[in-house]
Amino acid sequence: QVTLKESGPVLVKPTETLTLTCTVSGFSLSNTRMGVSWIRQPPGKALEWLAHIFSNDEKSFSTSLKSRLTISKDTSKSQVVLTMTNMDPVDTATYYCARIIGVAAADYWGHGTLVTVSS
Amino acid sequence: DIQMTQSPSSLSASVGDRVTITCRASQSIRNYLNWYQQKPGKAPKFLIYAASSLQSGVPSRFSGSGSGTDFTLTISSLQPEDFATYYCQQSYSTPLTFGGGTKVEIK
């Protein structure tokens, strides 16, 4: 059974750095043609893809957020970590991690974690 | 970046109606198009990949078509559990991008 679970702070202050962890089970981060994406959704708005990392360590980032994002994985811990620097209230959103399969589709998603940016 | 535009942004329909949602890409993405369904307060659910292939477990009333820049998601006979927001997503090139969503509401 494939599951993903996001964890991290629920509240961050403006200018702080957000660190989110996605812990996966039911598959390995070393599986060929699989990876993990981070996707966010501001309240009442559309989905926005942020970043992904594949088993071969290939990474990709949103063009508009590239300078603020890093993504890494620890295969032994089955975890993918996303960091976003210089947080702003407009970054308030539910952040999801999702498994990415070969066709670059997100077939399994975590429940999401709401992150609020406020002083 | 490839821009994905969905229309309409919302629609009202009745149970049993045939519903069609359109997704247009800003450049050709061949058939690298996926669809998701999202209900309020829930994570999206994966419905269709490669424009027309149904993910395992998805009811056959859902279908997808298209290639190049124009795609459609069709629900042949709308059921009560289908009232939700639907998103398309291109997987032709990175960065991956989503459409703005189409909310299907009860008439």
Is the Cβ–Cβ distance between A116 and A25 less than 8 Å? no
**β-bridge mates for residue B4, sequence order:** B25
Restricting to B residues 11-70, those with a Cβ less than 8 Å away from any Cβ of A are: 32, 34, 36, 38, 43-46, 49-50, 55
Q: What is the mean pLDDT of chain B?
A: 97
Among A47, A58, A94, which would you mutate to test the B interface (most chain B Cβ atoms within 10 Å of its Cβ)? Answer: A47
pLDDT band at B39 (very low <50, low <70, confident <90, very high): very high
Q: Inform me whether the C-beta atom of residue B71 falls under 8 Å from chain A C-beta atoms.
A: no
Is the Cβ–Cβ distance between A15 and A87 less than 8 Å? yes
Distance from CA of A83 to the nearest CA of B (A): 17
DSSP state of A85: -
In the prediction, which pLDDT does B107 show?
Answer: 86
Q: Which residues in chain A are contacts of B91 at CB distance < 8 A?
A: 103-105
Distance from CA of A24 to the nearest CA of B (A): 16
Q: Which residues contact A15 (CB under 8 A, 6 or more apart)?
A: A86, A87
**At residue A6, does pLDDT exceed 90?**
yes
Is the Cβ–Cβ distance between A70 and A80 less than 8 Å? no
In the prediction, which pLDDT does A102 show?
Answer: 80
Instruction: Find, in chain A, the residue whose alpha carbon is nearest to that of B100.
Output: A46
Q: Which residues in chain A are contacts of B29 at CB distance < 8 A?
A: none
The answer to whether the CB atoms of B99 and A46 lie below 8 A apart is yes
Cα distance between residue A22 and residue A73, in whole Å: 9
Cα distance between residue B5 and residue B28, in whole Å: 13
Q: What is the mean pLDDT of chain A?
A: 96
Is the Cβ–Cβ distance between B51 and B64 less than 8 Å? yes
Share of chain A above pLDDT 70, in %: 100
Among B94, B97, B102, B103, which would you mutate to test the A interface (most chain A Cβ atoms within 10 Å of its Cβ)? Answer: B94
Quick count: other Cβ atoms within 10 Å of Cβ A69?
17
In the prediction, which pLDDT does A33 show?
Answer: 83
The answer to whether the CB atoms of A111 and B43 lie below 8 A apart is yes
Share of chain B above pLDDT 90, in %: 98
Structure confidence by residue, pLDDT tens digits, A76-119:
999 999 999 999 999 999 999 999 998 789 999 999 999 999 99
Read out DSSP for chain B? ---EEEE-SEEEE-TT--EEEEEEESS--TT-EEEEEE-TTS--EEEEETTTEEPTT--TTEEEEEETTEEEEEESS--GGG-SEEEEEE-SSSSPEE---EEEEE-
Is the Cβ–Cβ distance between A99 and A44 less than 8 Å? no
Cα distance between residue A98 and residue B80, in whole Å: 27
**At residue A15, does pLDDT exceed 80?**
yes
Q: Inform me whether the C-beta atom of residue B94 falls under 8 Å from chain A C-beta atoms.
A: yes
pLDDT band at A32 (very low <50, low <70, confident <90, very high): confident
Cα distance between residue A116 and residue A51, in whole Å: 20
In the prediction, which pLDDT does A103 show?
Answer: 76
In the prediction, which pLDDT does B2 show?
Answer: 96
Q: Which residues in chain A are contacts of B57 at CB distance < 8 A?
A: none
The answer to whether the CB atoms of A49 and B43 lie below 8 A apart is no
Cα distance between residue A63 and residue B78, in whole Å: 37
